[in-house]
Amino acid sequence: MHKIKVLLIEDDPMVLEVNRQFIERVEGFQIIDTAKNGMEGLQKAKEQKPDLIILDIFMPEQDGIDTLKAVRAEQLDVDIIVITAANDKATIKTMLQNGALDYIVKPFQFERLQQALQHYYTYRNNFKGEGELEQQHIDALIPSLSSNIKIDNQQEINALPKGLNEQTLKQIVLFLIQQEGSVSAEETAGGIGIARVTARRYLDFLQKTGKVDMDIQYGGVGRPINRYIISDKSS
């Protein structure tokens, strides 16, 4: 599975280390370097060409606002998620207007960053190669519109087993909608950026609630493979 290359820009050493550990806990992501201010981060972004920058705002020499603007001025092909203590409306609006894909306010729980990274993994995979996207796919790729992905009803969401969350469930539904045929838990895990055993739990839940159909395929040596396909493409 291709790992997403991350550049972490954060001036506080303790926060940087916590963020590093959080990011590396999410399957499919690899920190390739860190920087202690925006100026250093911009230079490393030019040299190392990361897929994703995790960016603080309050930093010496060059803050996150000027760094994001510089990244866009340089037309670097990189996405940005902001993690910062700044929660004023003007700053948030400026960062979103300049293309930040997500905005996380410190202090935060690991699950919030995990959600952001898993959503980004799906987002990036959907822009590989050429082709077109349907409206429902576009809606699901925009965080503020992700609630448009219909599961079946709120009761099913409320009945999620312990350890499963609504955002990942929606990402898996979106992934299945986009497939032309059935997929295995391993293929789903690779498409979403989660562990195979985790993908299997979500797929089994969706199968039990009638959202997906399961097809057992035999072939070659070894155990049969469970493959899943969305039951209702209009969802």
Q: Any idea what the CATH number is for the domain that residue 31 is in? A: 3.40.50.2300
Residue 124 lies in a domain: no
Residue 126 lies in a domain: no
pTM of the full structure: 0.67
Shared-domain flag, residues 71 and 159: no
From 118, 148, 176, the end of a domain falls on 118
Shared-domain flag, residues 108 and 205: no
CA distances from 9 to 12, 32, 36, 74 (A): 9, 11, 6, 17
Q: How far apart are CA 156 and CA 203, in angstroms?
A: 14
pLDDT attached to residue 234: 41
CA distances from 153 to 103, 204, 211, 233 (A): 28, 17, 11, 16
Shared-domain flag, residues 90 and 54: yes
Residue 127 lies in a domain: no
Residue 123 lies in a domain: no
Residue 128 lies in a domain: no
The domain spanning residue 207 has which CATH number? 1.10.10.10
Shared-domain flag, residues 110 and 23: yes
Q: Which parts of the chain have pLDDT scores under 50?
A: 145-149, 152-155, 233-235
Shared-domain flag, residues 149 and 206: yes
Domains in the chain: how many in total? 2
Cβ neighbours of residue 96 closer than 8 Å, sequence gap 6 or more: 103
pLDDT attached to residue 12: 95
From 118, 144, 177, the end of a domain falls on 118
Shared-domain flag, residues 16 and 107: yes
Shared-domain flag, residues 167 and 95: no
pLDDT attached to residue 168: 81
Shared-domain flag, residues 112 and 203: no
CB–CB of 49/95 below 8 Å?
no
pLDDT attached to residue 203: 92
From 71, 94, 118, the end of a domain falls on 118
Shared-domain flag, residues 20 and 113: yes
Residue 235 lies in a domain: no
pLDDT in tens, 80-134: 999 999 999 999 999 998 999 999 999 999 989 998 998 898 888 777 777 777 7
CB–CB of 204/196 below 8 Å?
no
Residue 70 lies in a domain: yes
3-state secondary structure of 131: coil
Cα–chain-centroid distance for residue 139?
15
Residue 125 lies in a domain: no
Shared-domain flag, residues 112 and 184: no
Domain that holds residue 88: 4-118
pLDDT attached to residue 217: 81
CB–CB of 23/31 below 8 Å?
yes
CB–CB of 178/159 below 8 Å?
no
Q: How far apart are CA 48 and CA 72, in angstroms?
A: 16
Shared-domain flag, residues 9 and 114: yes
Shared-domain flag, residues 100 and 11: yes
